[in-house]
Amino acid sequence: DTAVSQTPKYLVTQMGNDKSIKCEQNLGHDTMYWYKQDSKKFLKIMFSYNNKELIINETVPNRFSPKSPDKAHLNLHINSLELGDSAVYFCASSHISDTQYFGPGTRLTVL
């Protein structure tokens, strides 16, 4: 069974479109995260959710909005996509302040 899963694995879209990436974890963790890994492979935290509450929100454009329907899911919605949004996006989960389990990543390409 996959612990942290993301869909889709690849996403190619035009500038200006709106897209969503889904994430699900079956580990019973109480905290979920979104990270962005840019072309230089630098991995940076975007959001974390604990008990359906947004705990941190780094300097991410408000075109990005995380949505958590329940503890096992944290989806990422992106409006008005820009070229600079092209990256690999990773979902992760953990018990609060514990080691994190990462999903396989979603490679987003904005044309």
Partner 1 sequence: SQKIEQNSEALNIQEGKTATLTCNYTNYSPAYLQWYRQDPGRGPVFLLLIRENEKEKRKERLKVTFDTTLKQSLFHVTASQPADSATYLCALVGNSGGGADGLTFGKGTHLIIQP
Write out the residues near partner 1 by the rule CB under 8 A.
4, 31, 33, 35, 40-50, 55-56, 58, 90, 92, 96-97, 99-105
Provide the minimum distance between the beta carbon of 16 and partner 1 in the complex, in angstroms, as a whole number: 28
Query: What span, in angstroms and rounded, lies between the C-alpha atoms of 29 and 51?
Result: 10
Residue 45 pairs with which residues in a beta bridge?
Answer: 35
Residue among 65 and 104 whose Cβ is closer to partner 1: 104
End-to-end C-alpha distance for the chain, whole angstroms: 34
Residue among 33 and 75 whose Cβ is closer to partner 1: 33
Residue among 11 and 46 whose Cβ is closer to partner 1: 46
How far is residue 36 from each of residues 22, 28, 70, 96, measured CA to CA in Å?
14, 23, 22, 20
Provide the minimum distance between the beta carbon of 1 and partner 1 in the complex, in angstroms, as a whole number: 16
Residue among 14 and 73 whose Cβ is closer to partner 1: 73
Q: Contact, 18 vs 82, CB < 8 A?
A: no
Provide the minimum distance between the beta carbon of 17 and partner 1 in the complex, in angstroms, as a whole number: 24
Q: Contact, 66 vs 76, CB < 8 A?
A: yes
